[in-house]
Copies of this chain bind each other. A is one copy, B any other.
Amino acid sequence: MGEKSVQKKKYILDTARKVFVEKGYKNVTMKDIVEACEISRGGLYLYFDSTEQILLEILQMEAEETDDIFSENITEGDTAADILTLFLKEQKKELLQKNTLTVAVYEYFFANRSTDKNNMLRKQFEAGVRVLEKLIEMGISSGEFYCENPKGAASNIMYVLEGMKINAQTFGISEKKVDEQLLYIMEGLIID
């Protein structure tokens, strides 16, 4: 793909993101995206076949960006506790974000529920558990953490983050509540 096409595609994804943030997934049509992008119908179909494809590419893009931010912020000499704190901080930022795709994502996966290993939400959840498990094991080795069941603790953190994410979208969650729970999690691991 030429440089211009890459830019055009990126523009469409960024604009479509705003449409999904505003309207969720179910009610968004290709026509909505054409109008928001101020391009022709043919111009959109040159790059994308469906709202499904567009949403999934946005999610893929965001997941990669999040991974990059996370990796870039880890510096040599960071302890397991530092890295876990960084991870939870990133999650907190996402949780409290206003312009979030969360509702669109849930709407999409409610309608396309699948226990398949390739389900993107499942893959992201399981990758999160694996990263956290390794991190906790690292902290145990270094003498920072005490934990009898690293996999259980890692799953616990991922379930809690999911729970806070859904609460944020149905009745809201305050920064204080998020902080209290993240502190509870850290205190459960860290050896004083």
Interface residues in chain A, defined as those with a beta carbon under 8 Å from any beta carbon in chain B? 24, 26, 103, 106-107, 109-110, 113-116, 119, 121-122, 125, 148-149, 151-153, 155-156, 158-167, 169-172, 177, 180-181, 183-185, 187-188
Contact = CB atoms under 8 A, between A and B. Distances in A.
8 contacts: A103-B110, A109-B169, A109-B171, A115-B172, A121-B170, A125-B167, A125-B171, A156-B156
B156 A160 contact: yes
Nearest to A171: B122
A42 to B, nearest CB: 31
Contacts of A184: 149, 152-153, 155-156
Per assembly, the copies of the chain total 2
A27 to B, nearest CB: 8
A166 B105 CA distance: 12
Contacts of A26: 26
Contacts of A125: 167, 171
Contacts of A149: 184, 187
Contacts of A167: 121, 125, 159, 162
Given A152-B181, A156-B181, A171 B121 contact: yes
B110 A169 contact: yes
